[in-house]
Structure 1
Amino acid sequence: MAAPQTKPQPAEVPPHPPRKSNVVDNFKTLSGFEGRELELGKAVNVVLRTLSNTAGYAHEINDALVKMHLNAMQFAKDQGLIDEWIEHDLKTMRPINERVGNIIRKTGQKEIALVGLFDRTACHFQLALENEAEEGVRRWKEPFGYVLEQARRIGQFDLTVEEIHEQFVKPRLYGYARDMGVEIRVSDIGEDGWISCELVG
C-alpha cells in the first residue's frame, strides 16, 4: 500500500520589519535593516572571514557553495549517476517550479520564470556572483571555473566547466522550465565565461 501523500506546507518565515510606511519615515535615512542589526553583523562577519581566507588561494564568498556543488557532481560522475542526480534535483525543485508555473498561467507573464530561476532565488545569486538581467534574458558568469582550477591541481576533481555546463547545468534549467510550463534557450559558455538564458516564444 502506497504511503499517503502529504500536501507541502509553506515555510514559516518571520516577518521583516515594515519598510518606510508613512510620510515621516520617507524623510528618514533608513537602511531597511532596522531591528536586524545582529543578523546583518553576522552576515558581514562571514563575508569578511571568507574574503580574508587566502590559504591555498583567495576565497570568494561563494566558495563553500561552489565546492559542495563540485563534490556532488564529481560523485555523480564517478558513480555513473548523472541522470539520477539530475532527476533527483528536478524532483526536489518540482513543487516550487510548479507553483511558479501556476503563477505564470494565471498572469500570462512568462518573465516570472526568469525571475524565479535567477532573480528571486538565493540558490542562483549566491552561487553566480556576476549577473545581468533584461526583459526575456538573464546572463551570468560561469561560477565553477575559479575553484575548479585550484582543486584540479591537487587532484580533487577532474570535471571541466564545459562538462558541468552540458551535463549538469543545462539539463536542470531545461527541466525547471519544463515544470514551469515555459520554453527557454540556454547558451554555451562564451569565450568571456558568460552564459545566457532566454525565453523562447
Structure 2
Amino acid sequence: MASDHYFSSRPGGEATLRTITVTLAGRELSLATAGGVFSPEHLDTGTRILLDRAPAPPPSGELLDLGCGWGPIAISLALRSPDATVWAVDVNERALDLVRRNAARLGISNVNAVLPGDVPDGVRFAGIWSNPPIRIGKPELHALLEHWLPRLHDDASAWLVVAKHLGAESLQRWIAEELDLDVERTAQDKGFRVLGVSAAASAR
C-alpha cells in the first residue's frame, strides 16, 4: 500500500493545498484539501448521498464524524447544529489539519478535529455519521465499529454509507448479529446504501 495512502497517520509527499467549491448545509463553500486524504478533488458520491439522505442532526449534544477526511461531514454537522459539539475523528493527521483549517476559514468553533485516542472515554454521542474506510479490511473495520457504535446514547442513531459492491449487505448483517444493534437500510442511490443503526430494542 502506498505510503501516502489516506489510511496513513502521516501521509508521504508534500501537503500542497488546493481549494475546491462544495455545497454543504445549503451553502456554497470554498474549502481546502490536499493529497494524501480521501477524495481530495471533490466531494465523493457516497458522502454526498449520506449528507442528502440521512436525517437532520440533533440540535445539540456530542456528534461524531468517524473517518472525517478533510471534513465535509463535520462541517455540515457544525453548520446545521451550531449548539452541538462535533468530533471529527481520523487517524490521518493531515486530514485533521485540513478540518481545522476549514473550520477556521468558516469561523466555526464547535468542531474538535482529533485522533481517535483523544476523544475522552466518557463521551457518548447523540449521533454518528460515517463513510467508513471499507478498504482497510474487515478485521480493522469491524474493530473500528465495535469501538464507536456502542458509544451511542440509547435513543441515538448512527448513519453509515457503504457501496453495495464493497459489502454493504454483509456489513449490515454483521452489525446486527455481532453488535446486537438494530440496523436497517434507509436509502439507496447510485450503488450506495445508507444504513441506520440504533441500540437493539431489547437493550432499551
Write 1 or 2 for the structure with the bigger share of strand.
2
- TM-score, normalized by the shorter chain, greater than 0.5: no
The structure with the larger Rg is 1
Please state which structure has a larger fraction of its residues in helix: 1
TM-score, reference length from structure 2: 0.26
- The one of the two structures with greater contact order (alpha-carbon pairs below 8 A, sep at least 6) is 1
When normalised by structure 1's length, the TM-score is: 0.26
